[in-house]
Amino acid sequence: METEARFPVTGGCLCGAVRYESTEPPNLVGFCHCRMCQQAGGNLFIVFADFTGDSFRFTRGEPQYYRSSEIATRGFCRECGTPIAFQYDGSSGPAIMVGTLDHPEDWPPTWEHSGIESKVPWYRISDDLPLTRTDESEFLKAAHERKASPEVAIDD
């Protein structure tokens, strides 16, 4: 039985020290099986919902951020350790771990399984979403393009 998605989209960490909301739905919801996401999420893959910065805000506390690569940071609760967010440098908003949403059932993945080169062999994917390697991911390509573009100086 399908239900209508609830707005605003809200969520937070296990202990409640960090809470967030978005007035808009996520841009995309997908899986990532890359090795970095496996380690950061403590699982076989992560499921994330990508939000736009203008519609997304933290309403209680702020995550602690860890630079996990030359192009991204990951946010987690400094109190309970819950992985909360992932953000490529220069992106307009965070990718939030779907498990931290108050209603994850409202946002099933519809985008893709990225990082498929690191998928654990005994886990069987049983949906029809596209399978992409990390180097084929449009999400990652956009992050690399932002990193490679020259900084524009702004006069004060």
DSSP string spanning 123-137? PPP-S---B--GGG-
Distance between CA atoms of residues 104 and 6, nearest Å: 10
Distance between CA atoms of residues 133 and 116, nearest Å: 5
Residues 139 and 121 sit within 8 Å (Cβ to Cβ)? no
Neighbours of 13 (CB within 10 A): 24
pLDDT digits (tens, 9 = 90+) for 97-129: 999 999 999 999 999 999 999 999 999 999 999
Predicted pLDDT of residue 152? 39
pLDDT digits (tens, 9 = 90+) for 42-94: 999 999 999 998 999 999 999 999 999 998 999 999 999 999 999 999 889 99
Check pLDDT > 80 for residue 142. Answer: no
Predicted pLDDT of residue 141? 72
Predicted pLDDT of residue 3? 65
